[in-house]
Structures are given as structure tokens and as C-alpha cells.
């Protein structure tokens, strides 16, 4: 058996791996085994609520085994990659744990991704299968799957939750449609993967072009899950409302659904993040903890001011993914009647939390401190030299659950990681007494649109594909609700003498939409300009562009 890491992944150096094991961070348990253990300890406990469906741990464990066996029978092999694009539904966990148990690797796409992103994930990961729901939020994923298949020669099968049409139905695979249980109810014993192996691939927010894939191992991920569950005080009586996209690192592991399963609590799936959907669920299922991005937190606050539902079961509201303003932070406890926890994390690893017993000023004004005593933090200047204590600098980190390299990205890894293995987060932070981090800004070329990350280069490339676009630069513009939105500055080519009309902003937007990219990436504003400001070394001066659009918005220009 091949015991090395998946090709194209960077292992931790042996001395670090040994240390993380010796310290008890890496326990040798896989994600699939951890669910089995929980199911054996508390089979009858409620584990998952989705609409009218209520599953116990035994139910979930059984469904996972049945699907794993069916996928194996269809030829899915350990280490093969499977792009999983599901909304917040219970089947997500059946799929996810079935793949974990098989040792096949889910690649977690967002429900908002479209052809351009999904084809990229399929190709990058050489995925052999793609798992979708039939439709959600008015969008038909089977249509998308047809387009993706046409461009991804490696895809062997598409599996659909719901009405499968010409594809394979997940229910049929599990023998649920016919009521026949083809596979025995005995716990499945597979040549299960080892805990040091890669369990799945997460997506990076990206700063250079299309998102990179992030290989997370069973060992490293379970450590972050267990430790997060401890920090957030989870127990078997915790009830978590899964509001943000289920496959995102925040929702999955900080402590998220996996933390809840670890603790033996219950996950409630919210089909939509709106107060209209979430508040009745909180009241009905006595939800104790949930996680939001800042813009959603303010929507909830406004809705809760005149609320009808009883939200008194809620003990902890986690807010993270983007900067939380002081105004919103200080309203949370008075309006929702629960504690606030700030969470600053990244799919690459490091997660930082304010603690439940931290004084109010720390909770409201900092992004907490890292999970682990072995999270190494360096805050450096442009020359990688440590800044004076309390000063702002680039955040570099390495530790027991932070990757050492992106998947099959040797070149990019050279500058995304230092030679001694620190990940360059691209965040500008300072550290306060007690090790508390405050996120001050960003050096990476990315827009954080209310928690949704947009890599500027990715959208610039799409714009440059338009025959009449000569140059383009995407920058963040301030927004009272989302924190930031995206503004594209575009130079058009002179008309070539023919009667071609120059495209308007709406034409460029339509052009982008036709290239089939996630909706949140379409620039909120497009400014046509004659030239773009340059820095001393001839690069586009994005700082000047950010200032220009901020001034325009402030009415100063």
C-alpha cells in the first residue's frame, strides 16, 4: 500500500509530524472512523435535521456505509477525486463521509460556482465524478453538469441528489428508491485510508488567477475540529444551525458540523440564510450556536429587532470570514441575547477565536487568538523581518493544521510559503497583548465581498478576453453593507474605424455572465477609463484605484 501523501501535496517535515503526534494533536483517527465511533457510542441520538427529516447517528452512519459500498461497486477508488457541489442538505454529509471512508477525496465547490469554476476544479483535480443536487434556488445543476462533462474528459459519472434525468440518482445508488437494501447493514470494513493521508481538497479564496486546491489530512483536520469544539464549549446538547455554505471551512470545522458530530450534538440545515428561514428553525429546534458572515449578522440584527420568534435558545453567535464592524459587534448581545465570538480563519488552516470567557472589549475589538499553542505566528515587514510588537505586518503562520503547500502548485507554492514552511496568509495584522490578533487589512490581490472572496486576477482575465477590452483592474470599493464590493476599471480599445460601438458596462457584465462564473464575482461597478495609474515599477497602482473609487463614492470627485 502506498503510504506516502497524494502526489502533488507537500508533507510536513518528519520532525514536525512526530512532534504533532507526540503532543497528541494528530491521533491517527480518520474522519470516517470518528463518525463511526460517535455512532457506536450514541446511536439513538439525533444527529441531523433537514426539513422534515430527522436522522440519528445510527441513521447517518448506515447511509454513509451504504453509499460507500455502492460507490466502490461502481469502481470509485481510494485517492480519486470527486467534485461535490451541494447546497445545505443532509445528503452532503452522506456523500462526504462515504468518500472519507472510501479514501476518495471530495473537492468542495460552492453552490454558486458555475461552469468556468467547476471545469477548472475538475481539470485541476482530475476528478472522475461530480455530485450535485438536481436544482436549488432556481438553478438547474443538471444543465451545468452537461456543460461541465463536455469540457472535462476525465469525468466518468455525475451523481444527482433528486431527479437524476440521464445521470445516476443518489437515492437509487443507496437502494432507497426501490425500498431495497442491496447492501447489508453491517458496518462496512474497507481498506480504510490512513489518518496522515489527504482527506479532501478545499478551495482557496485565490489571489492569483483561479482558486488553488488545499489538501487537508484526516489528522490535521480532526485536530482543528476537536480543539475548536473544546474552545466553543460544544457538548452533546449543542444544536448547530448550518447557515453558511456547508462545505466551507468555517461551517464545516470551526467547529461547525464536524465539531458538532464530534461532540455528539445535532446539526440543523438551513436551506437559506435569511431570518425568515433561520429564525423559525432556531425557535423550533432550540438552536444553541450558529455562524455567520458580518453582512448576514447585520440582517439578522435588523430582523430580530422586531422579531416574533423566540431566539432565547441561542447561546453563541460566531461571526467571521470578513471584518466585523464595531457597530455591528456591539449590537449582537443586546439584540440577540447571546454571546458573540469573532472567528478569523482560512481554508489553508489557521483559525483564531475569541474565547467564551474573554472580556467584552476583546470579543468586540479583536479577531481572537489561534486554536493551538503550536500555531506559530510571525508578523513581518515586506522584507520578511519581524515588526516591533504591536505593529502591523504580514501574517505568516505554520502549525499542526496549516498546509505546507497547495495541491499541484509547485511554482505558486514558492511564494505562497516561506522556505521554512510558513504560509503567507496575505493578511495584514497586529498582535495585541495576550496573543490576540487584529486584522488590519490585506496585501493579497483579493476582494472580500462580505466573506465571499474574489481573486482580482481571475476576473481581470475574464474581462481581457473581451475583444474590445485593452486592460482591466479589479479593486475593492467600500460598502456599508458588504464591507467591500468589486469595482473594475477598464480601458477599451479604440473603435477600429468600423461601425462597432464601444461596449457599455452592462455589455461587459453580460459578457462575464455568459462566461459562466459565480454571480458574486461579477463586478458591482465598472468604470471606463483612458489609462490606469502605474507604480514606480510599472505595475497597475491598485492603491490609487481604490482611493479613486472611494473618493467617487464619497462624492468628492
Please report whether residue 427 would count as binding ligand OOB according to CB under 6 A.
yes
Q: Rounded to the nearest 5°, which phi and psi values hold at 506?
A: -65, -30
Please report whether residue 345 would count as binding ligand OOB according to CB under 6 A.
yes
Q: Which is nearer to ligand OOB, 232 or 477 (CB)?
A: 232
Please report whether residue 344 would count as binding ligand OOB according to CB under 6 A.
yes
Size of the site for ligand OOB (CB under 6 A): 22
Opening angle at CA 214, ends 213 and 216, nearest 5? 145
Q: Which is nearer to ligand OOB, 38 or 442 (CB)?
A: 442
By C-alpha distance, which of 447, 490, 452 is closest to 468?
A: 490
Least spacing, CB of residue 228 vs ligand OOB, in Å: 9
Least spacing, CB of residue 336 vs ligand OOB, in Å: 18
By C-alpha distance, which of 518, 528, 546, 526 is closest to 112?
A: 518
Which cell goes with 66? 451504504
Q: Which is nearer to ligand OOB, 128 or 351 (CB)?
A: 351
Least spacing, CB of residue 475 vs ligand OOB, in Å: 16
Give the bridge partners for 540, in sequence order: 534
Residue in 47, 144, 164, 346 binding ligand OOB, rule: CB under 6 A: 346
Q: Which is nearer to ligand OOB, 193 or 483 (CB)?
A: 483
Q: Which is nearer to ligand OOB, 101 or 398 (CB)?
A: 398
Residue in 88, 254, 290, 341 binding ligand OOB, rule: CB under 6 A: 254
Count of H helices and E strands in the chain?
18, 27
Q: Which is nearer to ligand OOB, 76 or 227 (CB)?
A: 227
Q: Which is nearer to ligand OOB, 67 or 201 (CB)?
A: 201
3-state SS assignment for residue 26: coil
Interface segment toward ligand OOB; rule CB under 6 A; list 231-239, 315-323, 527-535, 543-551: 315-323
Q: Which is nearer to ligand OOB, 363 or 439 (CB)?
A: 439
Interface segment toward ligand OOB; rule CB under 6 A; list 159-167, 257-265, 314-322, 371-379: 314-322
Distances in Å between the alpha carbon of 535 and those of 13, 242, 345, 538? 39, 44, 31, 5
Burial of 531 (0-12, 13-18, 19+ CB in 10 A): exposed
Other C-beta atoms closer than 10 Å to the C-beta of 256 total 26
Opening angle at CA 438, ends 436 and 440, nearest 5? 160
Quote the CA–CA distance of 346 and 367 in Å, as a whole number: 13
Interface segment toward ligand OOB; rule CB under 6 A; list 13-21, 26-34, 248-256, 531-539: 248-256
Q: Which is nearer to ligand OOB, 412 or 509 (CB)?
A: 412
Q: Which is nearer to ligand OOB, 369 or 453 (CB)?
A: 453
Q: Which is nearer to ligand OOB, 301 or 526 (CB)?
A: 301
Strands (E), 1-128: 46-50, 53-56, 81-85, 105-108
Quote the CA–CA distance of 135 and 160 in Å, as a whole number: 9
Least spacing, CB of residue 274 vs ligand OOB, in Å: 21
Give Cβ neighbours of residue 160 (< 8 Å, ≥ 6 apart).
Answer: 131, 132, 133, 134, 141, 142, 145, 167, 168, 169, 170
Burial of 391 (0-12, 13-18, 19+ CB in 10 A): exposed
Residue in 193, 247, 295, 321 binding ligand OOB, rule: CB under 6 A: 321
Please report whether residue 250 would count as binding ligand OOB according to CB under 6 A.
yes
Distances in Å between the alpha carbon of 15 and those of 150, 194, 271, 348, 457? 45, 19, 44, 21, 37
Which residue, judged by CB position, is nearest to ligand OOB in the bound state? 345
Q: Rounded to the nearest 5°, which phi and psi values hold at 31?
A: -65, -40
What residues from 351 to 380 belong to the interface with ligand OOB (CB under 6 A)?
A: 351, 367
Least spacing, CB of residue 71 vs ligand OOB, in Å: 28
Least spacing, CB of residue 364 vs ligand OOB, in Å: 12
Please report whether residue 249 would count as binding ligand OOB according to CB under 6 A.
yes
Residue in 66, 81, 453, 542 binding ligand OOB, rule: CB under 6 A: 453
Residue in 193, 320, 370, 399 binding ligand OOB, rule: CB under 6 A: 320
Q: How many Cα atoms occupy the beta-carbon half-sphere of 336 within 13 Å?
A: 30
Interface segment toward ligand OOB; rule CB under 6 A; list 30-38, 97-105, 246-254, 358-366: 246-254
Angle (deg, nearest 10), helices 31-41 and 91-102: 120
By C-alpha distance, which of 246, 221, 285 is closest to 161?
A: 246
Least spacing, CB of residue 255 vs ligand OOB, in Å: 10
Residues of the shown chain interacting with ligand OOB in the complex, contacts defined by CB under 6 A: 205, 249-250, 254, 320-323, 342-347, 351, 367, 425, 427, 439, 442, 448, 453
Amino acid at each position: 500500500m502506498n503510504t506516502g501523501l497524494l502526489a502533488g501535496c507537500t508533507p510536513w517535515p518528519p520532525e514536525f509530524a512526530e512532534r504533532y503526534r507526540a503532543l497528541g494533536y494528530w491521533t491517527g483517527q480518520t474522519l470516517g472512523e470518528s463518525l463511526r465511533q460517535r455512532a457506536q457510542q450514541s446511536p439513538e441520538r439525533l444527529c441531523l435535521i433537514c426539513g422534515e427529516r430527522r436522522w440519528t447517528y445510527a441513521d447517518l452512519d448506515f447511509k454513509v456505509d451504504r453509499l460507500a459500498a455502492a460507490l466502490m461497486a461502481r469502481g470509485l477508488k481510494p485517492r480519486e477525486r470527486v467534485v461535490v457541489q451541494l447546497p445545505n442538505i443532509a445528503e452532503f454529509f452522506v456523500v462526504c463521509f462515504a468518500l472519507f471512508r472510501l479514501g476518495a477525496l471530495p473537492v468542495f465547490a460552492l453552490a454558486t460556482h458555475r461552469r468556468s469554476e467547476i471545469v477548472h476544479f475538475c481539470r485541476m483535480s482530475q476528478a472522475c465524478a461530480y455530485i450535485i443536487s438536481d436544482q436549488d434556488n432556481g438553478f438547474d445543476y443538471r444543465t451545468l453538469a452537461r456543460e461541465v462533462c463536455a469540457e472535462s474528459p476525465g469525468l466518468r459519472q455525475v451523481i444527482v441528489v433528486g431527479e437524476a434525468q440521464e445521470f445516476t440518482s443518489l437515492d437509487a445508488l443507496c437502494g432507497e428508491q426501490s425500498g431495497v437494501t442491496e447492501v447489508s447493514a453491517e458496518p462496512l470494513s474497507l481498506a480504510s485510508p490512513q489518518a496522515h493521508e489527504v482527506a479532501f481538497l478545499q478551495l482557496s479564496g485565490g489571489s492569483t488567477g483561479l482558486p488553488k486546491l488545499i489538501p487537508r489530512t484526516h489528522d490535521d483536520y480532526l485536530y482543528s475540529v476537536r480543539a475548536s469544539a473544546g474552545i466553543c464549549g460544544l457538548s452533546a446538547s449543542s444544536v448547530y444551525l448550518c447557515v453558511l455554505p456547508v462545505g466551507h471551512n468555517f461551517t464545516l470545522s470551526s467547529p461547525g458540523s464536524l465539531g458538532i458530530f464530534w461532540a455528539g450534538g445535532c446539526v440543523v440545515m438551513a436551506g437559506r440564510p435569511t431570518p425568515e428561514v433561520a429564525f423559525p428553525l432556531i425557535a423550533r429546534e432550540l438552536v444553541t450556536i450558529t455562524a455567520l458572515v458580518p453582512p448576514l449578522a447585520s440582517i439578522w440584527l435588523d430582523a430580530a429587532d422586531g422579531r416574533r420568534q423566540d431566539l432565547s435558545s441561542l447561546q453563541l453567535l460566531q461571526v467571521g470570514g470578513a471584518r466585523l464592524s464595531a457597530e455591528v459587534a456591539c449590537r449582537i448581545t443586546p439584540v440577540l441575547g447571546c454571546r458573540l465570538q469573532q472567528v478569523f480563519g482560512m481554508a489553508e488552516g489557521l483559525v483564531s477565536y475569541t474565547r467564551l470567557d474573554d472580556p467584552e472589549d476583546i470579543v468586540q475589538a479583536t479577531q481572537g487568538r489561534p486554536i493551538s499553542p503550536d500555531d506559530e505566528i510571525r508578523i513581518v515587514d515586506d522584507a520578511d523581518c519581524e515588526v516591533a510588537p504591536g505593529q502591523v505586518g504580514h501574517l505568516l503562520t505554520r502549525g499542526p493544521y496549516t498546509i505546507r503547500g497547495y495541491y499541484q502548485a509547485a511554482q505558486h507554492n514558492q511564494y505562497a510559503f516561506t522556505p521554512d514552511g510558513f504560509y503567507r496568509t496575505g493578511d495584514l495584522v497586529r498582535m495585541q497583548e495576550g496573543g490576540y490578533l487584529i486584522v488590519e487589512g490585506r496585501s493579497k490581490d483579493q476582494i472580500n465581498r462580505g466573506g465571499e472572496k474574489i481573486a482580482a486576477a481571475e476576473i481581470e482575465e475574464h474581462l481581457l478576453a473581451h475583444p474590445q477590452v485593452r486592460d482591466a483592474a479589479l479593486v475593492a470599493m467600500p460598502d456599508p453593507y458588504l464591507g467591500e464590493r468589486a469595482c473594475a476599471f477598464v480601458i477599451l480599445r479604440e473603435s477600429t474605424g468600423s461601425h462597432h460601438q464601444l461596449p457599455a458596462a452592462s455589455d461587459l457584465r453580460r459578457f462575464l455572465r455568459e462566461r459562466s462564473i459565480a454571480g458574486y464575482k461579477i463586478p458591482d461597478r465598472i468604470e471606463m477609463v483612458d489609462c490606469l495609474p502605474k507604480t514606480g515599477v510599472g505595475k497597475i497602482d491598485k492603491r490609487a484605484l481604490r482611493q479613486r473609487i472611494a473618493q467617487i463614492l464619497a462624492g468628492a470627485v
